[in-house]
Structure 1
Amino acid sequence: MPKMGHLLLSVHIATFLTALPGNVLAFHALLRQVRRRHPTPADVLLLNLATSNLMFLLALLPFKLNEAAESDRLPCFPCTVASFLTCLAVCTGALFLAAVSVDRYLAVAFPLGYYVARRPRHAAMASVVLWAVSSLNLGVAYAIEWWINKGDGGDGAKKNNTTPVPLPPTTPRPSLTCYLNPNADQLGVLVRVRLEVFVVLFGLPLLVCCFCYVNVVLVWARLPNAGRRRRLRAVGQALGTLWVFALCLGPYGVCRVVGAVRQDDGSGWSEVALLAGSFNACLDLVVFYFSSAAVRSSLNSCFKRCLIRAAEAKPFITIR
């Protein structure tokens, strides 16, 4: 495995170990909140966002560990499923971030109508629609990739019309990736589908988030009786969400546009873009913290318990 591959794997493992405990805690807090009698629509949307983060973490790391093992190349079907789940989690996370921003905008800009008409079942129905839209768009893209792979004669050595030969111990093995080598006609279809996925699952959610959070900050700034803490919470939520789009989801979506412009499959930079997308699971904790009182309470209590246990664990020093 090349040095760059070792570096990427190390970052993926560090992201997994950092993001998994926080997302599990947020998922548990939001699930308890949703199971109560009067959950809010934001709780339902944030629960789905935490679910997409956990799916991303659990689908990505085993896939990368298999690549690091430098064993045989994954068969086509497991490779496609793992890649589909990873992309589904990233794209669905972008849609739910946009849905949370719409919920916050309606609550601030139209408070009376929002509090009269809000129902948790509306958020649940919207969640089902968002999962369906993301699954259908990515399903079409991966169905085309599957068709391309079958058209090229299968996976692994069959795609390149070569016979697998055992490598000597001193010979570096090829990079274990799942990207295809489509011909010109197939690439034209694949690039157009990926560009449509970028517009629907990245471009539109980004525009919605920018519009909603800019207006949320402006409304809070105009309210004379708004508390300083509530204003800072609104600004923190807006900056956290836009930071997630810029740092994490942006590179993952831009690589699709660059691939469409350059007319290639984007395999040269998709690994780095996926690495940036993995930080999404970490930075979403900022959105959870500023958006949900249940998550704030759980994180604060967990932090206080850790401090108490650290203070109680006094070292025993024996002087002879």
Structure 2
Amino acid sequence: MTLTVGLSKVVLVVYGFTLITGLPANILAFYTFFKKVRQRSTPMDVLLLSLTISDLIFLLFLPFRMVEVANMKWTLPYFLCPLSGFIFYSVIANSVLHLTAISVERFLGVAFPIKYKLKRNPRSAGIACIIFSVVSMGHCSIIYIMQYHNHFNPNISDPSKRNTCYEEFTDEQLKILLPFRLELSVVFFLIPFIICCFCYIQCIRILSRLSNVNVKKRYRAIGMALGTLLVFIICFMPFNISHWEGFISGQSSKWRQPALLTSTLNACLDPFIFYFSSSALRGTFKKVLQGLAARFLLPCCRSALYCPLFNRGKPDERTQSTDDSIR
């Protein structure tokens, strides 16, 4: 992607917004789920904790991308280029698999509440999280392969001497990369999206038929379903469409990197999905907000009551009370 000054500012704003909002929210979620898993865990808690760790790793490596965008070229040590790209894309793929597993867990809990409650096992969820990470990292190792592919060819410039990161590809590299991107799109978007749609549509249908379900719980379940599907559509769909467009055209899509911007927003949108799916996190958010209000808002309100500017034109309460007592 050829960065212009205007485009680099837009990218920095998106990355900065993701980092500023996503980091504190995910730290709070990590604290909540880690505490919950240590006490009494469920498969959902394990999945949410694993997804939170994945998002935090993503956010910790996001500043490397921000430095590249700010300088409009790669100026950091070159070994960080494939490493940051590997983490970047692995986390996106890993998030898709985790969100899909969460949708399946929700569907089983709603469709078969008694059977699933008896058979669910947090250890199985932990094994699934490990498998998701291994599959994601295994697929995204293509970044290292492409970055150093045909490295000793005298006709190809040394990757470490380039000022771009994972952008320039030869025709020989594209013959390998474009079909692989298509396969990534199928495995890490199309199939998971179909599964999520089925699971959440079924959940909504089942909950809408049950009259004895609490209204708030029903709305939270529907909110989680719609939120997850919106994350798929807004965050993941544009980037994966660029894979299909690149495969059909036979070249790397020109708008692939701008489409990737929406995928970064996933790291700050995930905590909102967590909010609908975990009562523990809702309680933690409530305590934090109450603590912030007590620390910052109440002192401001108290100081405003005694501020001469705030009480301009009003008689002093102590003077008024004295006058009333005299009368």
* TM-score class normalised by the smaller sequence: 0.7 to 0.9
Q: Which has the larger radius of gyration?
A: 2
Correspondence for 1:312: 298
Cα deviation digits, residues 189-225 of structure 1 (max 9, x gap): 1101111111111111111111110111111111121
Q: CA RMSD in A?
A: 2.1
| TM-score, length-scaled by structure 2 | 0.86
Correspondence for 1:62: 64
Distance in 2 (CA, whole Å) between partners of 1:150 and 1:181 is 17
* TM-superposed deviation, 1:177: 3.6
Correspondence for 1:287: 273
Paired residues for 1:1-320 under 5 Å: 2-36=5-39, 38-69=40-71, 73-147=75-149, 151=153, 152-155=156-159, 157=161, 177-266=164-253, 268-314=254-300, 315=303, 317=307
Distance in 2 (CA, whole Å) between partners of 1:233 and 1:5 is 37
* TM-superposed deviation, 1:62: 2.6
Distance in 2 (CA, whole Å) between partners of 1:70 and 1:274 is 17
Unaligned stretches of 5+ residues in structure 2: 313-327
SS of residue paired to 2:169: coil
Does structure 2 conserve the Cα–Cα contact (< 8 Å) formed by 1:141 and 1:193?
A: no
Distance in 2 (CA, whole Å) between partners of 1:154 and 1:244 is 38
- Aligned identity (percent) is 35
- Residue 133 and residue 19 in structure 1: after superposition, are their counterparts in 2 closer, same or farther (change >3 A)? same
Distance in 1 (CA, whole Å) between partners of 2:235 and 2:105 is 22
Cα deviation digits, residues 68-88 of structure 1 (max 9, x gap): 145764454320110110111
User: Greater shift after overlay, 56-65 or 139-148?
Assistant: 139-148
Distance in 1 (CA, whole Å) between partners of 2:149 and 2:255 is 23
Distance in 1 (CA, whole Å) between partners of 2:38 and 2:165 is 40
| TM-score, length-scaled by structure 1 | 0.87
Distance in 2 (CA, whole Å) between partners of 1:231 and 1:279 is 26
- Residue 72 and residue 218 in structure 1: after superposition, are their counterparts in 2 closer, same or farther (change >3 A)? closer
- Residue 213 and residue 155 in structure 1: after superposition, are their counterparts in 2 closer, same or farther (change >3 A)? same
Distance in 2 (CA, whole Å) between partners of 1:59 and 1:134 is 17
Distance in 1 (CA, whole Å) between partners of 2:171 and 2:245 is 17
Distance in 1 (CA, whole Å) between partners of 2:74 and 2:271 is 36
* TM-superposed deviation, 1:26: 0.5
Correspondence for 2:316: none
* TM-superposed deviation, 1:61: 2.0
SS of residue paired to 2:148: helix
| Matched AA of 2:66 | K
Correspondence for 1:164: none
Correspondence for 2:315: none
| Matched AA of 2:5 | P
TM superposition outliers: structure 1 runs of 4+ over 4 Å: 148-151
Unaligned stretches of 5+ residues in structure 1: 159-175
